[in-house]
Structure 1
């Protein structure tokens, strides 16, 4: 390795990737990253990063400290590159999610009660889950309506919490729920994504 190569290898965007992929300039999909993302991408290899366990996941969700959730360095890099690809290919992440994943022609909600009309929401696996234990399943409930929250804290309002709780119990926990195996309520934890953390702002979830 030449001195010049060694210097290039110290750039944060070249850490944790093979030398053959090093570049003297920051890749387009990584330009303008936050200090948090740069810190994650600059960390030790994934195998040295402990996954969040179930107790930690519950704590973050229940105390609304969801900003502590993180992806591994390799997953974050892949996620950012994929988001960049979607924007260039489809014009926006919203366009891809709406038409390719949710298969919604429009995102105007009906006037029906929340969670009563299946056309207004959809449950999908998170394609890019956080660095959580592999036996934890991360689902996303996409909604055409924006769930109400408290402006000062971005925490769900009492009414939003009630609606979400009813939906969870009916969908996953009741004996006649449309799942293969009924799930105990204490095995489910949920959080509403902050507006500041969303990658798709036009949809709820």
Structure 2
């Protein structure tokens, strides 16, 4: 582990770094559902060996790219930074939107967006597999929805507004739950019970400059994960 951590370590992180993988208890689905329901997101944890690798990787990436956001934009999302979008959606190459269309509290983001309303334009978001997922039971997959468009929050702490929560919930239902519900093979009798989502508040984010939402799915086969993310599982 680098002498100086590349992001703020929580007390739980420090506890994990003193553990072995054999001592670690992975999150099962019920545990994840309870953590998200009570908004205790600081309880989410990585396997000790994964956390150590993540810290080392983060330090290397920051040294090479300047920030994790730069790496993600360049190598994972292939989004080019540009002039920041203004509050009314006007940006270098973006489409202007009327002021009334902007959700309350929205701020300029690090890269241009097409529509100031989150999830309104497919070019403003991308679904990828999480390169560094939490320590999860087998059968649970971790995806991340990356957004160009900022999501309005209540305060500097980054807690979601009710409108933002409804926007994310609507996107998750449309993109993930509906896909399972309409599966041609009818493989998912309870699609709503197989999808969870959360958005870390600022203090828990290791990539703070780029908006993202975490999605967890249970017992979803590889073909659908590839359909959503365009990526095969890492070996």
Map 1:48-87 to 2 at 5 A.
Answer: 48-87=23-62
Q: Which residue of 1 aligns with 2:165?
A: 161
Identify if the C-alpha distance between structure 1 residues 199 and 171 changes in structure 2 by more than 3 Å, giving closer, same or farther. Answer: same
Between the two proteins, the alignment pairs up a number of residues equal to 179
Q: Which residue of 2 aligns with 1:203?
A: 210
Q: Conserved in 2, the CA contact under 8 Å of 1:86 and 1:96? A: yes
Distance 2:56 2:201 in 1: 22
1:173-197 deviation digits (Å, cap 9, x = unpaired): 2259998877612211111111111
Distance 1:31 1:198 in 2: 12
Structure 1, unaligned stretches of length 5 or more?
Answer: 1-12, 14-26
Larger Rg: 1
Q: Conserved in 2, the CA contact under 8 Å of 1:46 and 1:72? A: yes
Distance 1:78 1:31 in 2: 12
Deviation, 1:134, is 2.2
Deviation, 1:48, is 2.2
**What do you get for the CA RMSD once the two structures are aligned?**
2.6
Q: Which residue of 2 aligns with 1:144?
A: 148
Q: Conserved in 1, the CA contact under 8 Å of 2:7 and 2:206? A: no
SS of 2:128 mapped into structure 1: strand
Q: Which residue of 1 aligns with 2:122?
A: 118
SS of 2:126 mapped into structure 1: strand
Deviation, 1:85, is 0.7
Deviation, 1:112, is 5.1
User: Greater share of helix residues, 1 or 2?
Assistant: 1
How does the TM-score come out when normalised to structure 1? Answer: 0.77
Distance 1:180 1:104 in 2: 33
1:16-58 deviation digits (Å, cap 9, x = unpaired): xxxxxxxxxxx44558963623321112x20221111100101
Q: Which residue of 1 aligns with 2:63?
A: 88
Q: Which residue of 2 aligns with 1:100?
A: 75
Distance 2:211 2:179 in 1: 28
Distance 1:108 1:190 in 2: 25
Structure 2, unaligned stretches of length 5 or more?
Answer: 82-110, 213-235
Which range is displaced more, 162-171 or 70-79?
Answer: 162-171
User: Greater share of strand residues, 1 or 2?
Assistant: 2
